[in-house]
Structure 1
Amino acid sequence: MATWRELVTFIKQSYKVTREEPEEIRIRLRFRKDDEEPERTQLVVIAREVLDKREEWVQIATPFARIDEVDVRAVLEEIGHTTVVGGCVVMGDYLVLRHSLPLINLDINEFTDPLELVTGAAETLEEEFTGRDDY
């Protein structure tokens, strides 16, 4: 996979798309720890980014809390101890876990593994720090 169009085609075939724009596609992933737990979901924004006006990258971003509703230092400490892929950023009023990958020569596992790791970590952070399933 080497182009944005090819990645979008893969995403549309593999995931439930909730919104699509020329440079961005949104999906919703579902999580269930066991049959007795209610299903939880996580919104994921996958966007095409161009670095230095020449290199195409894909960014995976998923919000998990409003910054005014959590102890940001505690969130960052938790991410530092438990998260392997992705970093936390502030986007507007939200804390977002995100990860970026170069599109050129991107293998499918180089996309799906970080997608699942970032989204799963954000879901866990959301549950731990907000106790809700808003995103």
Structure 2
Amino acid sequence: MAAWTDLVSYIRSEYNVIEDDPDEIRVLIEYGEDDELHRSQVVIICREVLDGHEDWVQIASVCGPAADVDLHQFLTEMGETTVVCGAVVMNEHIVIRDALPLMNLDLNEFEDPLTFVAATADHLEEKFWGGDGY
């Protein structure tokens, strides 16, 4: 898979797409669909251009408002429970994200980071905000 359009076609065929724009697609990942512990996480997948010429894909998911959490505690939890992904503050929200170069991207190189970002964001959202709003 070497192009954004190829990745978007794959995502459309494999995931529950809830929003679809030219350089960004949002999917809904659901957990525990058949039980009372049902949770979901919106994951934003977008095309980024690095240095004006190299296509990358960014995978991101919002956890909650940054103002409502102790960032030191949050980052400590991330450090103790995650191996991949990073946390940033974007538009006043804490976002878990990862990025991958599109050139020569293989499906398994996309699947694992997508799964890790969604699961990490959902875990941290539940632990620090107690809800399932994102």
**Where on the TM-score scale, by shorter chain, does this alignment land: which range?**
over 0.9
> What is the aligned-residue RMSD (CA, Å)?
1.2
For 1:39 and 1:17, the matched residues in 2 are separated by 18
Post-superposition shift, 1:82?
Answer: 1.1
For 2:34 and 2:58, the matched residues in 1 are separated by 32
For 1:100 and 1:74, the matched residues in 2 are separated by 24
Q: Deviation string for 1:53-78 (max 9, x for gaps)?
A: 11100000000110111111111111
Any gaps of 5 or more consecutive residues in structure 1?
Answer: none
Q: Deviation string for 1:30-64 (max 9, x for gaps)?
A: 012x9544210001100000000111000000001
For 2:113 and 2:86, the matched residues in 1 are separated by 12
Counterparts in 2 of 1:14-93, with a 5 A limit?
Answer: 14-32=14-32, 36-93=35-92
DSSP 3-state at the match of 1:12: helix
Runs (4 or more) in structure 1 with deviation over 4 Å come to: none
Q: Please report the TM-score for the alignment, with normalisation by the length of structure 2.
A: 0.96
Post-superposition shift, 1:123?
Answer: 0.3
Q: Deviation string for 1:64-113 (max 9, x for gaps)?
A: 11011111111111111111111000001100000000000000000001
Aligned residues: 134
Any gaps of 5 or more consecutive residues in structure 2?
Answer: none
For 1:38 and 1:77, the matched residues in 2 are separated by 26
Identity of aligned residues (%): 49
